[in-house]
Every structure is written in C-alpha cells, then in structure tokens.
Amino acid sequence: MRPMATTSSSDHRREVAAWRTARLAKLTSPDGWLAVVALEWLHDGDNPVVVPGSDVPVGSIEVDAGVASFHAAEGSGLTWDGKDLVGTVELHDDAGGEPTVLRKGPVSFHVIRRYGTLALRVRNGEAEAIRSFRGIEHYPVELGWRIEARFEPYEEGRTAEVGTVLGTPEIYPVPGAVAFAIEGEPYRLDVFLEDGESDLFVVFGDETNQSETFGGGRYLYTPQAGPDGIVVLDFNRAYNPPCAFTAHVTCPLPLPQNRLPVRVEAGEKRYGS
C-alpha cells in the first residue's frame, strides 16, 4: 500500500506532537505505568494488604469462587470513589470494565484478572520512577511512516495464544490482519481486539528491537477499517509497552508472524537507553 497523503507534513507533525504530549502526561500521572510499584497474585481465602508507606495491613482481600471482596481495617484511611471506606466492598476486576479502585494518599490499588487468576496492582503517585523520568527518545516524525493498509478479516471467533513477558500466555481475539508495503515490499501484521476497546491493537517487532527500540517489540493502535477496508498505520505513534517502565505488568509479545524483517525507524526508542 502507499503512504497516506491526506495531510501535510506540518499538520502531521503537530498531530504526532499532541499525541506524544498526551501519552507522556498519562504515563507520568498517578494512574500511569510509571506509578506501578507492585503486582501481587491473590489466593483463595484471606489476603492481607499492606500499602507502601505503611507497616500494617489496611485491610484484606477475600477471594471466594473467583470473586474478590475487600474488608477495611478500622482506621485504614482508605477512600473509595472519593468517600471514606468503612466495612466491606466487592472489588470488580478489570476483566469486566472499570475496576474498583481504592486509595490512600498517593497510593491506589485494584484487582486485575490474568490467566484466570486475580492479582492486586498497586500504584504510587509519588514513585521514584515518576520523579526520575526524563522523557523518551524517538525517531524524527516522517509522513512516510503513516501508511495506508488493507484490513483482511479472519473468520469470526479466531483467537491466538500470545506470549507475555511473565512467561504465561494470554488469549487474544484476532479479527484479522493488516496488509501494507514498506519500500515496495509487502508485509502483514495480525491485529488484536481487546475487551472494551474499539481500535485495533498492533503488537509488532522489527529489526530496531536489537539495539535501538525495546527488545520485546512495540505497540500501536489504529481505528478499525471503514467501508473501503482501509486502515492507517502511523508508526510515528509506535510506543514502548508498559513493561519497558515497570516489571509489575503482563505485556503481550509479538506473534512470530508479527516480527517484521525490516527496520521501522519511527516512533519511540528504547526507554533509558
């Protein structure tokens, strides 16, 4: 396919700059990936919860038949939805939409569901990773890396077992692939469709992963195809996955067929390099 020519280079640079500003604001926010400081797997029964900055449990999470409930300790200082938390509250995990988030000062936590198991994700809005953040290097913005691709749908219900940085695979729906060309050579990437998301999720690797970009590949989102079957892959918006910033996450890795045998010199470079 051909590079998109529906916008000028200057307009495109402004669009990418605005996207990057929003991306970094989210990354460094108290609810961003740099704030993640712990991931604790939960077991059936009682799981005491001790938050950073405290030596005693603020309560406990009881897991029963895959459902988690939080029992607040007296004087825990926790809030839920902006109100003081007293007693017990059911903790909705992230598999069904927005999870229940409990907070104490700069610390927040909620339950996630991975591999059929529940875990507690803890964030600290005053984490050292946020205070020491100095930005992310990136390749120059090039309109030529904003590429038109053809969406090729698969049969309904197709899924893929996807490896993760933790070594345990996850299952992702695969609605199709996107077909495009780089310097005249044809390529295809399988795309995912995450729960609760409308955009297509692209997890890809390329030759820059060896030394310039994150070794586990990069991510990219694109709106679904319109009636003409065309999607736009703007590799200038390719970004580091959360596991480039914290070890306490479960990042999907590129499928073997999504490792491009070319250098994609666009988007974010390796963090901290």
Q: Which pairing describes strands 59-64 and 67-72: parallel, antiparallel, or unpaired?
A: antiparallel
Cβ 39 vs Cβ 119: under 8 Å: yes
CA distance 28 to 151: 34
pLDDT digits (tens, 9 = 90+) for 248-271: 998 999 999 999 999 999 999 999
Give the type of residue at 49.
V
Tell me, what's the pLDDT at 6?
Answer: 63
Neighbours of 140 (CB within 10 A): 9
Q: Which of 264, 267, 273 is nearest to 23 (CA)?
A: 267
Q: Look up tokens 């060896």; give the residue.
A: 210
Cβ 255 vs Cβ 220: under 8 Å: no
pTM of the prediction?
0.91
Tell me, what's the pLDDT at 2?
Answer: 40
Structure tokens given for 19: 């996207």
What are the Cα distances from residue 76, in Å, to 72, 174, 213, 236?
6, 44, 43, 45
Residue 181's DSSP bridge partners are 186
pLDDT-flagged residues of the chain (< 70): 1-6, 273
Q: DSSP labels for 80-148? A: ETTEE--SEEEE--GGGSSPP-EEETTEEEEEEEETTEEEEEEEETT-HHHHT-----BPPP-GGGEEE
Domains of the chain with CATH codes: 9-28+137-258 (no CATH), 33-131 (2.60.200)
pLDDT digits (tens, 9 = 90+) for 179-235: 999 999 999 999 999 988 899 999 999 999 999 999 999 999 999 999 999 999 999
